[in-house]
């Protein structure tokens, strides 16, 4: 099974307040190392997806800070030290000072990312991107 760390050459997406490093793992899953330096309700970035909500399941661990998820009928919040599962049909709410690691199915994540990027562009938010260096994903 391949392994990655926040120090390897993963793909990177960054905009003001958000930095995400991303890599695809074997068997159809992706990992994201995320750092959030500003509070942000990201609901507008998921417009155009079914129900205007993220349709990917997420498994994660909050290293520092907290993260929230809004569903049509409820909100869930996870703080440092919490492991979580969040099913489809949500929008994330980020809080300044948060670091986390998330796992999602690669195929659904790859369908979601272009929608988020289009919405960032439409909002005039500058996005910095770096492609992954394949050689930096190590076999464990």
Tell me: the pLDDT tens digits for 40-97? Answer: 999 999 999 999 999 999 999 999 999 999 999 999 999 999 999 999 999 999 999 9
Residue 6 confidence (pLDDT): 66
* 129, pLDDT greater than 60: yes
Cβ-based neighbour number of residue 31 at 10 Å: 22
Give the pTM: 0.86
User: What structural domains does the chain harbor?
Assistant: 12-133 (2.60.120.10)
């Amino acid at each position: 099974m391949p392994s990655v760390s926040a120090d390897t050459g993963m793909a990177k997406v960054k905009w003001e307040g958000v930095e995400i490093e991303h890599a695809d793992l074997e068997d159809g899953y992706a990992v994201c190392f995320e750092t959030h330096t500003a509070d942000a309700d990201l609901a507008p970035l998921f417009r155009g997806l079914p129900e205007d909500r993220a349709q990917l399941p997420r498994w994660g661990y909050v290293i520092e800070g907290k993260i929230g998820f809004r569903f049509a009928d409820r909100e869930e919040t996870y703080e440092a030290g919490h492991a979580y599962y969040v099913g489809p049909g949500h929008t994330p709410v980020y809080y300044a000072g948060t670091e986390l690691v998330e796992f999602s199915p690669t195929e659904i994540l790859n369908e979601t990312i272009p929608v988020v990027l289009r919405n960032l562009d439409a909002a005039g938010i500058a996005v910095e991107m770096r492609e992954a260096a394949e050689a930096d994903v190590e076999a464990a």
